[in-house]
């Protein structure tokens, strides 16, 4: 049985990792997989990716790195992702992973002209009939932390999501590749940890960390998205019947 692959592109904040673990653990939990195995490759530590046809599906994590810096490990991962997309592998890019997918497929990522977005946010979906996002409500409540965004989608991309800070918050390419700028694997507790960890940066940019903390709230939307992606991968592998 081919595994689902988590491409880990960075590490969470140390104080969060000490009590809650890291991106790959939260994603694995949210996917809700049964018998399908899960492998993690830490590309930011130069671990080697397997052949794309050796995996059932892929989730690309967030990262404190910046896609626009074009670090060698990131560019290698982008090239691998372009091959995986061409082969029809089911792929979900999260935050950095969303930006990296867009970059790999001919789009452009870079600093958000509107500045940092962090906290519990609302995202507007326009995804009727979409295999991954179509069953979710039009207005999502999710968690986010980023300073870079997708500035231009790849030519063939279908826009799926936006919010007041980001017109390119989600896309699909073909029938098997998705990117979302938010973090469906975060809950409100993790989000508060990020706001506390970025408190000085937020305040230095003119933001209000205490107000952001007060607005943090949990939502089932992110977990539903991850669970749906896990179901799509298991269905494709014949592990689970149609939802």
What pLDDT is attached to residue 243? 55
Cα-based angle 34, 222, 136 (whole degrees, multiple of 5): 95
| β-sheet bridge partners, residue 132 | none
Kindly list the catalytic residues.
95, 183, 185
Task: List phi, psi (to 5°) of 227.
Answer: -60, -35
What pLDDT is attached to residue 239? 81
- Could you give the CA distance from residue 159 to residue 141 in angstroms, rounded to a whole number? 18
What pLDDT is attached to residue 240? 67
pLDDT tens track, the chain, 243 positions: 899 999 999 999 999 999 999 999 999 999 999 999 999 999 999 999 999 999 999 999 999 999 999 999 999 999 999 999 999 999 999 999 999 999 999 999 999 999 999 999 999 999 999 999 999 999 999 999 999 999 999 999 999 999 999 999 999 999 999 999 999 999 999 999 999 999 999 999 999 999 999 999 999 999 999 999 999 999 999 886 655
| pTM beyond 0.85, yes or no | yes
Task: Check the CA dihedral 199-200-202-207 and report its sign.
Answer: positive
- Could you give the CA distance from residue 180 to residue 163 in angstroms, rounded to a whole number? 12
Compute CA distances 41 → 141, 205, 241, whole Å: 29, 34, 28
Listed in sequence order, the residues at least 6 apart from 99 whose beta carbon sits closer than 8 Å to its beta carbon are: 67, 93, 109, 148, 149, 150, 179, 181
Q: For domain 4-115+148-186+220-236, give the fold.
A: Rossmann fold (3.40.50)
- Could you give the CA distance from residue 144 to residue 207 in angstroms, rounded to a whole number? 15
What does the pLDDT look like over 136-170, one tens digit per residue? 999 999 999 999 999 999 999 999 999 999 999 99
Domain boundaries of the chain, sorted by first residue: 4-115+148-186+220-236
Q: Are strands 177-180 and 90-94 parallel, antiparallel or unpaired?
A: parallel
- Could you give the CA distance from residue 213 to residue 217 in angstroms, rounded to a whole number? 9
């Amino acid at each position: 049985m081919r595994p689902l692959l988590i491409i880990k592109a960075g590490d969470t904040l140390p104080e969060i990792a000490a009590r809650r673990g890291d991106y790959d653990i939260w994603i694995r939990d949210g996917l809700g997989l049964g018998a399908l195995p899960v492998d993690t490759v830490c590309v930011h530590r130069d671990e080697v990716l397997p052949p794309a046809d050796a995996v059932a599906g892929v989730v690309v994590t967030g990262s404190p790195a910046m896609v626009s810096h074009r670090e060698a490990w990131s560019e290698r991962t982008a090239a691998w992702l372009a091959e995986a997309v061409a082969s029809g592998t089911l792929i979900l890019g999260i935050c950095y992973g969303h930006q990296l997918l867009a970059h790999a497929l001919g789009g452009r990522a870079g600093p958000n002209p509107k500045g940092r977005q962090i906290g519990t946010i609302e995202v507007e979906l326009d995804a009727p009939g979409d295999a991954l996002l179509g069953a979710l409500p039009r207005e999502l409540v999710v968690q986010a932390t980023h300073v870079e965004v997708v500035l231009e989608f790849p030519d063939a991309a279908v826009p799926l999501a936006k919010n007041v800070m980001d017109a390119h918050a989600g896309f699909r390419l073909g029938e098997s590749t998705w990117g979302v700028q938010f973090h469906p694997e975060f809950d409100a507790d993790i989000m508060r940890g990020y706001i506390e960890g970025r408190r000085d940066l937020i305040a230095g940019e003119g933001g209000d960390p205490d107000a952001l903390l007060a607005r943090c709230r949990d939502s089932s939307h992110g977990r539903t998205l991850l669970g749906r992606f896990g179901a799509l991968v298991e269905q494709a592998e014949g592990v689970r019947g149609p939802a």
